[in-house]
């Protein structure tokens, strides 16, 4: 997600510093950016010169101090509260006092991340969708202490990136995953209970609701471990049994059948 965000920011004309913990991850990120932009060159949506200029706007580093002059940092590290807390503490120390600290988290509380810094008014959620260069939406999440000024600046920046900012308050799953994941979980329950085959469930939702892919295919694409983690966030956050993850989803994750990335999920790849 981080390389996708760097790519759209550079394409919109911003100078970007992309930071990771090791050079090999940065190289992988730059390769993904190159491949994505090359696709646009091949389709004649971008010239080779423009591609080179976009890439030249992105500097890579493993040193967090290189972010010191940024006016905004968009954090997109591993979805783990401990890792993100550590990153936010460090960012709070190295960036200027006016810098906005945004998180691309799918499920972690923005209010909690803000509270680990001395500037909770400047901490906000910028939830990009995957793949970042293609998807129009950025869900903008306001933590309990996020100021109107931070929100306005983030909204304006998102529009400059060519994306559509839509606002919501900090609440488990925000809007996107609160609505999407229970639908996917329900599809898994239907499969678990033998109500229909995987093909039938996906076909009914795809053809009947005009969804681009069925919920089981989508779960495989997202990753079943990610789906389970988000259902657990909803279940714990609301304390409501309507969010309990389906036992079949748990069983697949226990078996290491995580979807596309592991070669098997509800389908085989």
Ligand X SMILES: NC(=O)c1ccc[n+]([C@@H]2O[C@H](COP(=O)([O-])OP(=O)(O)OC[C@H]3O[C@@H](n4cnc5c(N)ncnc54)[C@H](O)[C@@H]3O)[C@@H](O)[C@H]2O)c1
Positions marked active-site: 106, 127, 139, 177
Peptide bond into 92 cis (omega under 30): no
Q: How far apart are CA 10 and CA 4, in angstroms?
A: 10
| Listed ranges 16-24, 38-46, 93-101, 204-212: which one lies at the site for ligand X (CB under 6 A) | 16-24
- Contacts for 117-123: CB closer than 8 Å, 24+ residues apart: 117/88, 117/89, 117/91, 117/92, 118/92, 119/92, 120/144, 120/145, 120/146, 121/145, 121/146, 121/147, 121/149, 121/150, 122/98, 122/146, 122/147, 122/150, 123/88, 123/150
Position 87 contacts ligand X (CB under 6 A)? yes
Site for ligand X in 98-157 (CB under 6 A): 104-106, 127-128, 130
Q: How far is the CB of 233 from ligand X (least distance, A)?
A: 11
In the set 34, 40, 50, 79, which binds ligand X (CB under 6 A)? Answer: 79
Site for ligand X in 220-249 (CB under 6 A): none
Position 65 contacts ligand X (CB under 6 A)? no
Q: How far is the CB of 191 from ligand X (least distance, A)?
A: 22
In the set 10, 18, 77, 233, which binds ligand X (CB under 6 A)? Answer: 77
Position 213 contacts ligand X (CB under 6 A)? no
- Asked if 51 contacts 78 with a C-beta cutoff of 8 angstroms, the reply is no
Q: How far is the CB of 16 from ligand X (least distance, A)?
A: 14
Position 19 contacts ligand X (CB under 6 A)? yes
Which is nearer to ligand X, 51 or 127 (by Cβ)? 127
Position 21 contacts ligand X (CB under 6 A)? yes
Which is nearer to ligand X, 83 or 180 (by Cβ)? 83
In the set 44, 49, 78, 268, which binds ligand X (CB under 6 A)? Answer: 78
Kindly list the residues in this chain that would bind ligand X in the complex (CB under 6 A). 1-2, 19-21, 25, 76-79, 83, 87, 104-106, 127-128, 130
């Amino acid at each position: 997600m981080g390389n996708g965000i760097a790519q759209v920011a550079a394409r919109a004309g911003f100078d970007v510093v992309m930071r990771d913990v090791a050079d090999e991850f940065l190289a992988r990120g730059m390769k993904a950016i190159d491949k994505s932009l090359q696709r646009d060159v091949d389709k004649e949506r971008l010239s080779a010169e423009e591609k080179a200029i976009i890439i030249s706007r992105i500097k890579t580093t493993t040193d967090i101090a290189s972010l010191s002059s940024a006016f905004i940092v968009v954090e997109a590290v591993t979805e783990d509260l401990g890792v993100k807390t550590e990153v936010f503490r460090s960012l709070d120390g190295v960036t200027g006092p006016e810098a906005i600290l945004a998180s691309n988290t799918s499920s972690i509380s923005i209010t909690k991340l803000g509270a680990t810094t001395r500037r909770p008014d400047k901490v906000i959620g910028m939830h990009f969708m995957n793949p970042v260069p293609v998807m129009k939406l950025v869900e903008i999440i306001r933590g309990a202490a996020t100021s109107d000024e931070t929100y306005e600046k983030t909204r304006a920046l998102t529009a400059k990136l060519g994306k559509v900012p839509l606002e919501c308050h900090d609440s488990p799953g925000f809007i996107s995953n609160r609505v999407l994941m229970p639908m996917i979980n329900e599809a898994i329950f239907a499969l678990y209970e033998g109500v229909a085959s995987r093909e039938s469930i996906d076909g009914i939702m795809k053809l009947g609701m005009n969804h681009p892919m069925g919920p089981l295919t989508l779960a495989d694409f997202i990753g079943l471990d990610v789906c389970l983690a988000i259902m657990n966030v909803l279940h714990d956050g609301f304390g409501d049994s309507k969010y309990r993850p389906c036992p079949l989803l748990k069983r697949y994750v226990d078996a290491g059948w995580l979807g596309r990335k592991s070669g098997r999920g509800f389908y085989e790849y």
